[in-house]
Structure 1
Amino acid sequence: MRTKILSPYWMPVWFFAGAIIAGALVLHLDASHPGGPLSLIDALFTATSAMCVTGLIVVDTGSYFSLLGQNVILVLIQVGGLGIMTFTTLFIYLLGKHVSLSDRIAVGQSLLRDPSFSLTKFLVRAVVGTLVLEGLGAVALWAMDPVGFAPYSAMFHSISAFCNAGFSLYPDSLMQWSGHAGINVVFMLLITAGGLGFYVLNECGGLAKRVMLWRKPIRQGPYLLSWHTSIVLRTSLFLVAVGAVVIFVAEGLANNAPESLGERVLTSLFQSVTCRTAGFNTVDIGSMTNVSLAFMMGLMLIGGSPGSCAGGIKTTTFRALCGFVAAQFRGNPQTRVGRYALSQDALNKVIALCSVALLLIIAGTMVLTSLESAGAEYLMGREKFMVNMFEVVSAFGTVGLSTGLTERLNGAEKTMIIILMFVGRLGPIWLLSALRSWQAKQRFNLPTADLPLG
Structure 2
Amino acid sequence: MKTIARKVELTPPQILVIGFAVMILIGSMLLSLPAASASGVPMRFLDALFTATSAACVTGLVVVDTGTYFTLFGQMVIMLLIQVGGLGFMTMATLFAFALKKRISLKEKLILQEALNQNSLEGIVRLIRKVMIYSLTIEFTAAVIFAVRWSVDLGPGKAAYYGIFHAVSFFNNAGFDIFGPVTGKFSSLTAYAADPVINAVSMGLIILGGIGFVVLSDLMDYRRNQKLTLHTKVVLSATGFLIGIGALIIFIFEFTNSRTLGPLDWSGKILASLFQSVTPRTAGANTLDIAGLRQATQFFIIILMFIGASPGSTGGGIKTTTFTTLVGAMIAMVRGKEDIVLFRHRLGKERILKAVTITMVALALVVTITMILSTTEDHAFLMILFEVTSAFGTVGLSMGLTPDLSDLGKILIAFTMFTGRLGPLTLAYALGPKAEKELYRYPEGKITIG
Structure 2 residue matching 1:419: 3-state secondary structure = helix
Residue 191 of structure 1 contacts residue 273 of structure 1 at CA under 8 Å; is this kept in 2? yes
1:24 aligned residue (28, 50, 56): 28
Residue aligning to 1:442 = 438
Residue 209 of structure 2 contacts residue 315 of structure 2 at CA under 8 Å; is this kept in 1? yes
Distance 2:341 2:46 in 1: 46
Q: Does 1:153 align with 2:162?
A: yes
Distance 2:121 2:14 in 1: 22
Question: Post-superposition shift, 1:64?
Answer: 0.6
> Which aligned runs of 4 or more in structure 1 are off by greater than 6 angstroms?
94-97
Residue aligning to 2:390 = 394
Residue aligning to 1:246 = 249
Distance 1:130 1:437, change over 3 A: farther
Residue 301 of structure 1 contacts residue 397 of structure 1 at CA under 8 Å; is this kept in 2? yes
User: In the TM superposition, what whole-angstrom CA distance separates every residue of 1:234-292 from its partner, at most 9, and x where no partner exists?
Assistant: 11000000000010000115454233111111101001011110000111100101111
Question: Post-superposition shift, 1:2?
Answer: 6.3
Residue 16 of structure 2 contacts residue 115 of structure 2 at CA under 8 Å; is this kept in 1? no
Residue 199 of structure 2 contacts residue 275 of structure 2 at CA under 8 Å; is this kept in 1? yes
1:40 aligned residue (33, 38, 45): 45
User: In the TM superposition, what whole-angstrom CA distance separates every residue of 1:34-61 from its partner, at most 9, and x where no partner exists?
Assistant: 4144111000000000000000000111
Residue 38 of structure 2 contacts residue 68 of structure 2 at CA under 8 Å; is this kept in 1? no
Q: Identify the range of structure 1 (257-266 vs 95-104) with the bigger mean alpha-carbon deviation.
A: 95-104
Q: Identify the range of structure 1 (343-352 vs 425-434) with the bigger mean alpha-carbon deviation.
A: 425-434
Distance 2:135 2:267 in 1: 31
The code of the aligned residue for 1:12 comes to: L
User: In the TM superposition, what whole-angstrom CA distance separates every residue of 1:302-330 from its partner, at most 9, and x where no partner exists?
Assistant: 11111111111111111111101111111
Q: Identify the range of structure 1 (262-271 vs 334-343) with the bigger mean alpha-carbon deviation.
A: 334-343
Residue aligning to 1:290 = 295
User: In the TM superposition, what whole-angstrom CA distance separates every residue of 1:140-175 from its partner, at most 9, and x where no partner exists?
Assistant: 011112134611111001100100000000230111
Residue aligning to 1:378 = none
Residue 109 of structure 1 contacts residue 115 of structure 1 at CA under 8 Å; is this kept in 2? no
Residue aligning to 2:335 = 330
Question: Post-superposition shift, 1:103?
Answer: 4.8
Residue aligning to 1:237 = 240
Residue 12 of structure 2 contacts residue 114 of structure 2 at CA under 8 Å; is this kept in 1? no
Question: Post-superposition shift, 1:367?
Answer: 0.7
Distance 1:32 1:206, change over 3 A: same
Question: Post-superposition shift, 1:115?
Answer: 1.9
Distance 1:413 1:5, change over 3 A: farther
2:125 aligned residue (115, 120, 133): 120
Structure 1 length-normalised TM = 0.90
Alignment of 1:426-437 (within 5 A): 426-436=422-432
The code of the aligned residue for 1:262 comes to: S
The code of the aligned residue for 2:160 comes to: P
Structure 1 residue matching 2:353: 3-state secondary structure = helix
Residue 251 of structure 2 contacts residue 273 of structure 2 at CA under 8 Å; is this kept in 1? yes
Structure 1 residue matching 2:281: 3-state secondary structure = coil
Distance 1:73 1:142 in 2: 20
Distance 1:435 1:38 in 2: 31
Residue aligning to 2:318 = 313
Name stretches of at least 5 consecutive residues in structure 2 with no aligned partner.
Answer: 180-184
Structure 2 length-normalised TM = 0.91
Distance 1:88 1:367, change over 3 A: farther
Distance 1:249 1:204 in 2: 33
User: In the TM superposition, what whole-angstrom CA distance separates every residue of 1:376-424 from its partner, at most 9, and x where no partner exists?
Assistant: xxxxx6xx11000000000000000000000000100000000000000
Question: Post-superposition shift, 1:442?
Answer: 3.3
Residue aligning to 1:218 = 225
1:6 aligned residue (5, 10, 18): 10
The code of the aligned residue for 1:310 comes to: G
Alignment of 1:176-191 (within 5 A): 176-191=191-206
Q: Does 1:53 align with 2:48?
A: no
Q: In the comparison of the two structures, how many residue pairs are matched?
A: 433
Question: Post-superposition shift, 1:99?
Answer: 4.2
Q: Identify the range of structure 1 (91-100 vs 37-46) with the bigger mean alpha-carbon deviation.
A: 91-100
The code of the aligned residue for 2:423 comes to: G
User: In the TM superposition, what whole-angstrom CA distance separates every residue of 1:6-29 from its partner, at most 9, and x where no partner exists?
Assistant: 222211111100000000001001
User: In the TM superposition, what whole-angstrom CA distance separates every residue of 1:52-89 from its partner, at most 9, and x where no partner exists?
Assistant: 00000001111111111011000000001112442354
Q: Identify the range of structure 1 (279-288 vs 1-10) with the bigger mean alpha-carbon deviation.
A: 1-10
2:361 aligned residue (356, 377, 396): 356
Residue aligning to 1:205 = 220
Distance 1:197 1:249 in 2: 30
Residue 106 of structure 1 contacts residue 115 of structure 1 at CA under 8 Å; is this kept in 2? no
1:169 aligned residue (162, 178, 190): 178
Q: Does 1:422 align with 2:431?
A: no
Residue 83 of structure 1 contacts residue 308 of structure 1 at CA under 8 Å; is this kept in 2? no
The code of the aligned residue for 1:218 comes to: N
Residue 61 of structure 1 contacts residue 169 of structure 1 at CA under 8 Å; is this kept in 2? yes
Q: Identify the range of structure 1 (73-82 vs 6-15) with the bigger mean alpha-carbon deviation.
A: 6-15
Residue 324 of structure 1 contacts residue 336 of structure 1 at CA under 8 Å; is this kept in 2? no
The code of the aligned residue for 1:184 comes to: N
Distance 1:281 1:104, change over 3 A: same
Residue 15 of structure 1 contacts residue 88 of structure 1 at CA under 8 Å; is this kept in 2? no
The code of the aligned residue for 1:341 comes to: R
User: In the TM superposition, what whole-angstrom CA distance separates every residue of 1:110-156 from its partner, at most 9, and x where no partner exists?
Assistant: 52635253343322221122111101001001111213461111100
Distance 1:438 1:332, change over 3 A: same
Structure 1 residue matching 2:209: 3-state secondary structure = helix
Residue aligning to 1:260 = 265
CA RMSD across the alignment: 2.0
